[in-house]
Amino acid sequence: MDKTIQDKVNLWLSNDYDVETRNEVLRLQKEDPKALSDAFYRDLEFGTGGLRGVMGVGTNRMNKYTVGAATQGLANYLLKCFKKEEIVKVVISFDSRLHSTEFARISAEILSANNIKVFLFEELRPTPVLSFAVRHLQCHAGIMITASHNPMEYNGYKVYWQDGGQLVPPHDVNVIKEVNKITSVKQVNWTANPELIEMVGERVDKAYFDLVKPLSLHPESIKKAKKLKIVYTPLHGTGITMVPKALEMYGFKDVVLVEEQSVPDGNFPTVKSPNPEEKSALELALKKADEVNADLILATDPDADRVGIAVRNAEGKMQLLNGNQTGTLLFHYVLSQSQKAGKLEGNPFAVKTIVTTDLIRRVALDYNVECIDVLTGFKYIAEAIRANEGKRQFIVGGEESYGYLIGDFVRDKDAISACCLIAEMAAHYMVANSANHKLLTDVLNDIYCSYGYYKESLLSLTEKGQEGVAKIKAMMDNYRQNPPKTLGGQPVVMMKDYSASRSYDLVNGTNELINLPTSNVLQFFTADGSKITVRPSGTEPKIKFYFSVVEPVEKRKDTAEVEARLDQRIETLKKDL
């Protein structure tokens, strides 16, 4: 074993660590040296979004000591930033994952030991409620213990700033510096001050619901759509605490729960991965929908910031929609109905990420709403909201990975309010014209006929461990040094390198600045309008390839034929890469 790794192992076998931790290190040393090496070969990075990793002992794992170091570093930074404040305040929430309650409690204790006031949720609550609570409780920061939609062995630690959004420059880098200064568990203040920890719950819920209800654009449609039946699954997560109540508040009476997945459980016993982007996670919901003849499925991930949906199509079958399709429908509904209601005032704008379908931009511009592109990650959408606060009206934001936000009282993706608006959208089109009611698939095809059929696909390659990190880096280096000249039989006419903040016109040989923060992302654009994005995941051991192709379509009946051609183009692009 490498000496640096062995030194870390020896440190964790010292009396600075509890008996349970030491025993687990000894077990790995004896039974699984490779796993031990993976657990210690590096320190789990406190990245720009916080911590996320596999749970277990070691410097490269999520455990009480890595969480403790992160919290102490955050406390040190907060006390520096707000030294003129009488008291610094932080709110903490957690999801249903294994050890989430423990990590939340430890974080609260360490903050209180540093003379920081803590609001700790009594029970698990979704990420969007935490984001809302930061501003509602006038806190300086927030912590959400969650690994979002990752497999069960993961947990995470997301940090929010006083605007309710995740950390962005300069605070992200500055917090990382403070966390990196914590090199020993002896630097962590572990002794709690219980007087500084206040439990919160329903009063925050009520304040949140009071702002979700006015987002409704057509409450009368819900009253008329008595036949609309919804199946909902929280995938063993926090959504069960809020989504059914929110749907009931909106007036939806016929909501059927997937009972097997309605109990919060960090083992996620009914799914391989609690990710609403994956069809396998929705198998029980699809089965239930056919049993009860439902019109709509809503599925939220463990921290209820993402929502996946399925709708009954013209053939009477439940059809899964991807994040781009749901986002397109939601943007179109919110913008079109807001315009009809005279609510698109105050120089309105929408926001999407650079890997999200450009169809959303086409829709937004049609309603004279600027659509701002930001880097991947909802924190950049929150940053755009903050930058325009008091000057412009934010309407809707979204990203292809099933995250959406309507209104600005939350500053992260919000599956609770999105579930309400998606259900209302289905109800509205069901009763908008009783002689010619529309399914959501019909509405989507009409949008394609108006703006062009945009088809997207995502390919993820998982490369775990030390070797995987090196392999992903080598792939990105190769794409930069040897960019493809053609893709899908078409010349590559433009390359954007967000790491260098430059856009290169490969036809004219010119380049220009990309006015966004640097990020390890590459985009290739072909002559026929295809867009291919390559980026390592910031939260998982993956490299992701996003494919987007487009073709005009004139009539709804032609969409299947156009889709088949677009699918073939995507497959060709995948093979070329």
Angle, to 10 degrees, between the axis of helix 64-81 and the axis of helix 100-113? 40
Rg (CA), the chain: 24
Q: Rounded to whole angstroms, how far apart are CA atoms 264 and 531? A: 39
**What would the DSSP string read from start to end of 131-173?**
HHHHHHTT-SEEEEE--TTS-TTEEEEEEEETTSSBP-TTHHH
Give bridge partners of residue 457 from the DSSP assignment: 547
Q: Rounded to whole angstroms, how far apart are CA atoms 454 and 324? A: 9
Over the range 490-517, which residues count as b (16 or more CB within 10 Å of their CB) and which as e? bebbbbbbbeeeebbebeeeebeebeee
Give bridge partners of residue 141 from the DSSP assignment: 90, 161
Q: Rounded to whole angstroms, how far apart are CA atoms 123 and 133? A: 14
Check: CB of residue 289 under 8 Å from CB of residue 317: no
148 classed as catalytic: yes
Single out the residue of 298, 559, 318, 302 nearest to residue 425, CA to CA: 298
Sheet holding 117-121, edge to edge: 50-54, 154-161, 141-145, 89-94, 117-121, 197-200
Cis amide linkage into residue 170, ω under 30° from 0:
yes
Report in angstroms the alpha-carbon separations of 514 from 173, 309, 388, 502: 21, 34, 20, 5
Token output for 544: 């992701």
Report in angstroms the alpha-carbon separations of 554 from 439, 448, 562: 19, 8, 10
Token output for 193: 């001050």
Check: CB of residue 305 under 8 Å from CB of residue 311: no
Q: Rounded to whole angstroms, how far apart are CA atoms 384 and 482? A: 34
Neighbours of 460 (CB within 10 A): 12
For the chain, give the longest Cα–Cα distance.
Answer: 76
Q: Rounded to whole angstroms, how far apart are CA atoms 467 and 487? A: 28
Single out the residue of 211, 217, 221 nearest to residue 246, CA to CA: 211
- Give the active site residue among 112, 148, 401, 457: 148
Report in angstroms the alpha-carbon separations of 560 from 445, 446, 501, 553: 10, 13, 38, 10
Check: CB of residue 495 under 8 Å from CB of residue 504: yes
Check: CB of residue 164 under 8 Å from CB of residue 317: no
Q: Rounded to whole angstroms, how far apart are CA atoms 199 and 123? A: 9
Single out the residue of 413, 424, 444, 408 nearest to residue 328, CA to CA: 444
Q: Rounded to whole angstroms, how far apart are CA atoms 469 and 193? A: 40
Q: Rounded to whole angstroms, how far apart are CA atoms 34 and 402? A: 36
Active-site residue set: 148
